[in-house]
Amino acid sequence: MKPWIVAAVALAWTLTAAEVLACGACVTRPGPPGPANPAYVAQKAERIFFGFDPKTKRSVAWVEVRYTGQPEDFGWVVPMPKKPTIGVGATYLFDRLDQATAPRLTMKVGPGRENCRVPVQQSSGGGFGCGAGVAAAARGDFANTSSADATSDSGSKVVVVEQSTIGPYAYAVLASTDSADLVKWLNDNNYVTPKEATPIIDAHLKKGDVFVALKLLNNKGIDAIRPVTFTMDDADPCVPLRLTSIAAVEDMEVIVYLAGPGRGMPKNHLHVQVNPYRLAWETAGSNYGQVLSAAVDEAAGRSFATEWAGPVPSLAVAAPPKDAAAMQLLFGRPIDPGAGAYPTGEIIPKGRLDSSAIAEVTTTAQLAAALHKSQFLLADEVIATLNRFVLGSSTAKGVDWQQVEGTGAFNPADLPDPATKIDGKALAGELALFASALKDAVGLIEAQPTFTRLSMRISPKEMTRDPLFAFHPKLAPTDTNWSATLSNVCLNGNNTDNGTRIQISGRKESHVIRNGHAGFTTFDTVPATVKTALDPRFAKMPAAAVVEVLDEALPAAPVPAAQIELVDLAIGLAVPGAPTLPKDFVLKPAEVRLVVPPTDPNLDTVTAANAGAADPGGCKLGHRGRAVSALGLVVLALLAVIAVRRRPS
């Protein structure tokens, strides 16, 4: 048997003032990637949801990591301040939260073409041109658990507090007073523990932490991996990062969702605001991830941006894009926008989570009718479960479950025998666990007045601490639902669109960008094609419009560039409920980072040399452009009169 990979071992030993929830990270078998170590994998991203029930003082963390590799190589070890209750969540929740709160950049096209001598026939569709508009959006396998009595290996100081299965996982909760014994237990049970983990494990044990070790059951594939839920008494939210650095990709994406009494905020990390002038508006912000990464780098490499904060999000208005590519644009991952999987309206459609009708079925024909009757939510986890019960494999292809639910019948080509036996009671039981997990998460979200989405891109060398979070009672709601208006410009006064005027919503000024008008990436730092013509006024701007330090008892405090590294160091040991910065730390006045570039007279206005005839569409350039254009018409008229008088007879 191949050795298991230890994943999700984290460092929280410096945080003695509070208990933290779900600190862990992904690592791989020792050694660098290459032919000698073909099973090397790297964590690509992490999505985490933290919820707290104020009535029961119950803290819950949903943790989703993306893993690539063989199922027999998968393992996950998570330190906890006390024994948690283990559960299995659903990727569906994270996808829905993404859909509701991810950055959304809308590009509008202006009402006319500027400085263009001959009008262009406009189409009724989207695209650049007068009157055209373009908008693009940013982007269950379960089983009953059972507990075992606490046991320990002979002569070992490791105690197995609980051992059971949940969904696709087998797990054990471990306690020990000796790190060497715990490392030996992990290795003996086919978890490969890198040497870098030993001092971290030792620090956790000295605090009295327990460890949760999970691995996939023997008959489960990688597709069966689900988010894991950890429930325990009152604990502060924490994100796993320290040991993630052992096997993380560069600029790893970390998205954190927080439901709480106020706006969620990083406590021991800086906070940034992304500069909208650095975004590629003409492609609906396709470079958002790169700009966010650059903004984080400008803030010592350890900072978060708030992408959404406000009341419980709703999808009642914003319908999902029909184009999966558009869905992926700002999500950074492919997401199926099918109508059944991603309906508009509430985050979790509670009316589609009743599996009681499915419990009565005994054949596939009855299952189809029950699905039609119940309209049970066809999330990816549900489809995988249906495939396993009907086709014997969670990854089997050939059944269009959307069509089955809509018509109440299978296509004979997909399922020749409608009399195939189905264990409806067992199937309904698994679907009920899926539904219960979603309902519980939504209940935690709805129990709090504010929901927050924080995001960062971070490289392994910058993963030097595990981010802790708190809640600020007075920080204003915010989101990244930004818009900008773009208009075509003919810089040479003819009918060639070789410029674009952009005006970002909420800003008075507008600028004209010279470009090739094909495959251009206006504000990116690297040309997308040879036709790209970057405007240095924007390319040289900082990616972070604001770098600030947050404290739940104080207003946001901008940090001057000269003090960023020092402030980052000073807040490294901050914990919720205590001042973020030491009391004797003097924060100097910060410079204004978002300085809008001056206008370029050769671009933002029209000179006499390139002024063309008035555009019949009524589109003009700047004030100077209009004055010069009028004067130009007078000059042209006088020249015409002179030419007529001198024309030979």
Is the CB of residue 12 less than 8 Å from the CB of residue 24? Answer: no
- What is the rounded distance in angstroms from the CA atom of residue 445 to the CA atom of residue 264? 13
pTM: 0.77
Q: Phi and psi of 224, rounded to 5°?
A: -80, -10
444: enclosing H helix or E strand: helix 424-446
**Token digits for 80?**
């906890």
Q: What is the CA radius of gyration of the chain?
A: 29
Instruction: For 351-378, write each residue's pLDDT tens digit.
Output: 899 999 999 999 999 999 999 999 999 9
pLDDT at position 331, please? 36
Q: What is the pLDDT of residues 230-244, one digit of tens each?
A: 998 877 888 767 666
- Scored b (16 or more CB within 10 A) or e, 241-264 reads bbbbbbbbeebbbbbbbbbbebbb
CB distance 287 to 476 below 8 Å: no
Cβ partners under 8 Å of residue 649, min gap 6: none
Considering only residues 91 and 11, tell me which one the structure prediction assigns the higher pLDDT.
91
pLDDT of the residue at 236: 82
Measure the CA–CA gap between 103 and 335, rounded to whole angstroms: 15
Torsions phi, psi for 227 (to 5 deg)? -60, 145
pLDDT digits (tens, 9 = 90+) for 290-302: 999 999 999 999 9
Give pLDDT, residue 193. Answer: 78
* Higher pLDDT, residue 165 or 130: 165
Classify 76 as helix, strand or coil: strand
Closest C-alpha among 206, 215, 230, 212 to residue 174: 212
Which residue's entry shows tokens 């990083």?
Answer: 266
What are the residues facing 133 on neighbouring strands? 108
Burial bucket for residue 561 (CB in 10 Å: 0-12, 13-18, 19+): middle
Comparing 586 with 34, the larger pLDDT belongs to 586
pLDDT band at 35 (very low <50, low <70, confident <90, very high): very low
CA dihedral sign of residues 465, 467, 470, 475: positive
What percentage of the chain reaches a pLDDT higher than 70? 68
Query: Rounded to an integer, what is the distance from CA 512 to the centroid of its chain?
Result: 32
Buried b (16+ CB within 10 A) or exposed e, 397-412: eebebeebbeeeebee
Query: Alpha-carbon distance 496 to 134, whole Å?
Result: 21
Q: DSSP per residue over 611-628, as a string?
A: --SPPTT-----HHHHHH
CB atoms within 10 A of CB 83: 13
Angstrom distance (rounded) from CA 529 to CA 241: 36
The answer to which of 70-84, 178-192, 418-432, 549-563 has the lowest mean pLDDT is 70-84
Cβ–Cβ under 8 Å, residues 361 and 424: yes
For residue 60 the two structure tokens come to 């819950």
Question: Is pLDDT above 50 for 642?
Answer: no
> What is the 8-class DSSP label of residue 638?
H
Share of the chain above pLDDT 90, in %: 35
pLDDT digits (tens, 9 = 90+) for 506-521: 888 888 776 543 333 3
Q: For residues 460-486, give the mean pLDDT.
A: 88
Band of residue 489 on the pLDDT scale cut at 50, 70, 90: confident
* Predicted pLDDT at 142: 22
Three-state SS for 483-503 is EEEEEEECCCCCCCCCEEEEE
Residue 260 phi/psi, 5-degree rounding, is -160, -175
In Å, how far are 279, 293, 550, 604 from 275, measured between CA atoms?
A: 7, 12, 19, 21
The position carrying tokens 């972070």 is 544
